[in-house]
Structure 1
Amino acid sequence: MKFILAAALIVCSVPTWASEDIADQYPGSPLYSKPVEFIPGVFSAIGATAPPNYENTGHNNNLSFIVTGEGVVVVNSGAAYVLAKALHDEIKTVTDQPVVLVTNENGQGHAMLGNGYWAEQGVPIVAHVDAAHEFEEDGTQILESMKRYNQDKAEGTFLQGPTITFEDEYIVELGAYRIEVRHLGPAHSAGDVVVWLPNQDLVISGDMAFHERMLPIFPDTLTADWLETWDTEFEALKATYVIPGHGHPTNMDQVRRYTKGYLEYLRAKIREHLDAGGSLTDAYYVDQTPYAHLDTYEELATKNAGRVYEQMEFEDF
């Protein structure tokens, strides 16, 4: 009961809905917001739900950490060296336990560009092999893109991939925490992983799950595979608590509605459009208004529709 009450109090203490229009919530730090303890020992600095920019220092995803009693495990190093250091500074105000492991949720900049800071501290960094490959292939472009928006805040950031890679799962047991870094299958991007804490019924889902901002569909995001991974693997966790890749901690009902529900809705709309002989040009404008309240809707809705059309056009062949 104490465990559930603590989580409920935390949920009630933060806004129930994020907004990309909300200004920096932690002006004294490069972090967009101060880390909050969601359940005992599990903290998350909730990023902006806006695209990365100078004002949010690229902190537009969630940077989490677990204080185990035998060391701290960090989930995501952030989009810049300065963000990784800022998160470490916050950890030091919570505990004197050393950081013993960093995990990267995927190969994107907001997961990996802060790795250099942690490598300098001698901390092992773990990621899925596909995420490591993506960062190795695209790292220079990712870094240059971050430098363009972050300008002076990019100082000190250098390319550093993970130091440990795995294919299916990477498991550590520290204190009362069994920490399972698991690749469940194809989802949002190459090498997506979740961090599953079975003893706490909590999943740090990374970009497997969204709810306050519209999910992005990349050219290589296979939505049918994402849905299959969701149904066969993600739901099987039966998580009580979810810290998504973006947005406030929540529950399975919310991420199911805005991830699986959105993917199924958009695919159904595109199927109707294809069956009616519709073109790619018109596919961009299929009705997505049930999701228009989500942050980044204006940036992503038309792109998502076009990419799903291009995928589904050939799914039956």
Structure 2
Amino acid sequence: MSLRYLGDAVLWLPKEKLVFTGDMVFNERMLGVLPEISKVKDWQATFKKMAELKPEHVIAGHGAPSDLAAAQKNTGDYLDWLVTEVGKSLEAMEDLGDAVKRLSADDKFNFLKLSKDLHGRNVHQTYLQLEAE
């Protein structure tokens, strides 16, 4: 058993191929990008480092335990989507309001609980973060 710092601390049990991720992984519900707390690109990079451990069991900070595929679907893919799609909006010099309206309409992650409450806010916060870089 070891405590690893991958950008965020995780508890890794290599013999069991089990990782405790804390707030890095959200299963079943949409993650929230919080102003001045969540850094989307850092979160994305940290998730990728956790995935490199190739855990068979992921104990998420939010939601049920899962395998890596479910954690990827519920958290990793969404972080990738935010960085990629909001990044494209910025490259195209799309206005913040237009980007939020257009990208919030994408329902790819509507299977996650709280998506209706959080998705638009996440797009907005990600836009502000990426724009500030």
C-alpha separation in 2, matches of 1:236 and 1:278: 34
| 8 Å contact from structure 2 (residues 74, 112) kept in 1 | no
- Structure 2 residue runs of 5 or longer lacking an equivalent are none
Q: Which protein is richer in helix relative to its size? A: 2
**Counterpart of 1:267 in 2: which secondary structure?**
helix
Give the equivalent residue in structure 2 for 1:219. Answer: 35
TM-score w.r.t. the length of structure 2 is: 0.86
Greater radius of gyration (CA) = 1
Aligned to 2:58, the other structure's residue is in SS state: strand
Which residue among 292, 297, 308 is the counterpart of 2:126?
Answer: 308
What is the match of residue 207 of structure 1?
Answer: 23
Q: Which has the higher contact order (CA 8 A, sep 6+)?
A: 2
Unaligned runs of 5+ in 1: 1-177, 186-191
Matched to 1:222, the amino acid is K
2:53 to 192, 215, 237: 237
Is the partner of 2:55 in helix, strand or coil?
Answer: coil
Asked whether the equivalents of residues 6 and 50 of structure 2 are also in contact (C-alpha less than 8 Å), the reply is yes
In the alignment, is the contact (CA less than 8 A) between 1:266 and 1:288 conserved in 2? no
Structure 1 residue 253: Cα displacement: 0.8
Q: Distance in 2 between matches of 1:250 and 1:209?
A: 10
Helix, strand or coil at the partner of 1:281: helix
Deviations 1:63-96 (A, max 9, x none): xxxxxxxxxxxxxxxxxxxxxxxxxxxxxxxxxx
Aligned equivalents of 2:75, 2:20: Cα separation in 1 = 15
Q: Distance in 2 between matches of 1:288 and 1:218?
A: 20
Report the residue type matching 1:273 in the other structure: S
Q: Provide the aligned C-alpha RMSD in A.
A: 1.7
| CA drift at 1:215 | 0.8
Percentage of identical aligned residues:
35
CA distance in 1, matches of 2:51, 2:71: 11
